[in-house]
Structure 1
Amino acid sequence: MSPLTPSPDLRPYFEELERFADGQMAPAEQEAFELRLEQDEALADAHAAYEQLTADLRWAAGHDTLRQRLQALDARMNQRGDALARMQRLTQRRQRRWSVLGTIGVVLLLAAGAAAWYFSRPSPARPARNWEAYYQPDPGPAVTTGLLHSRPLLSEALDQYQSGHYPAALHSLGRVSPSSVGADTLQYLRGLILLRQGQGSAAQLYLRRVREASGAGEPGPAGTVPLGHGPMAG
């Protein structure tokens, strides 16, 4: 329809056109309406204008829907960017925490290696019980809030060990994955718990493995003072 051509007046026919477009007419009424469309030029022009109007409305609705979808997509992309930034910050904090725990683990391993080497070296001139005078219990790492959240099973084992529940501590320690804590750390803690239970021979096997893994030296010869006759030094 040319822009200069005046739009036909839809008001006299609007209700009929709407019922016809929605399929709400009875078959006989619809047939009569279609016959009028062929014979009544004003009704045909109004019908053509109505069809154009509804097409324009559908296009406008689709355009608005597309705009809303694009806005929703932008919002999701912004949310994803914020989530990635949060993940990066969490990863950085986790890496710093692991660095601190790794430093503590190295210190514990070196202390265990030094203690194991010292008490396993030959000392024929010293009575077998002399070391009990200065050999103090090792409480193990403190159960901090960070350790409780990052290593719940290890925290449970340490809490049971420090509370004197040694069988339960050994059981909980057996559920800790070596890949998440370190095999040397698990062996060292298992040796400490066995020492407190009075199982020196079994504890000595684990502590010697820790000492050998840390490069503190070769195991002492036969006759060395057993590790299991008292608590492990801190």
Structure 2
Amino acid sequence: MSPLTPSPDLRPYIDELERFADGQMTPEEQEAFELRLEQEDALAEAHATYEQLTADLRWAAGHNTLRQRLQSLDERMNERGDALARAQSLAKARQRRVALLSSLGAVVLVIAAAAAWYFTRPSPARPDRNWEAYYQPDPGPAVTTGLLHTRPLLSEALDQYQAGHYPAALHSLGRVSPTSVGADTLLYLRGLILLRQGQGNAAQLYLRRVGEQDSSSELARRARYHLGMAYWQARELTQARAELGTVAADSLNPYRASARQAIAAGVLQAE
């Protein structure tokens, strides 16, 4: 049909055309309508125009539906892209948090390790301030067969002292006569036993009296060393340092090396 040709008037036939197109006619009506299409030019033109119009409408409807579908797909793609971008952003944020936590964990471990090392490290070696760490004990005279026969009480006291039975040794020593042994020897042994018993103050009373008659005797030199240790045991460090200093300066004193070691260690300085 030419665009310049006037469109046929569909209004007289619209009901029949719609029923025919929709398949609502009975077989007899449909057969009669088809016969009329062959015989009536106006009806045939109206039918052709109706078919073209409905085809155009279907195309327009389909095009609009396609446009809507494409628009919906585009929106879904945009939403998917946004969701993917958010997921990637969250993943990066988690990675940053994990990296930060890992760094913090490493820092905490380093700090914990440093703290553990600091609190468990061996402290710098400090000299032992205990007098027993520097004390060189005197076992006293050996208990021989001859001593047992000549001085049985002294032998008994020495045997008990050397066995560590200090109260019994003091008791036995109290039964020994000074005339049979010597006053300085009894004073010296009594001072030794009290010192070993932990009675530094009492030991001083006896050790100071040794050598009152002869301060240059070997027994007096020995007593001076043990007197210094008795002062140290009693925490009288000034007197201990003075006595042990004298011993350290005496080349004839058998305890010189022990005294010099204590003096050199500086452990007799007041705390």
TM-score (ref. length: structure 2) = 0.41
TM-score (ref. length: structure 1) = 0.47
Structure with more contact order per residue of length (Cα contacts < 8 Å, sep ≥ 6): 1
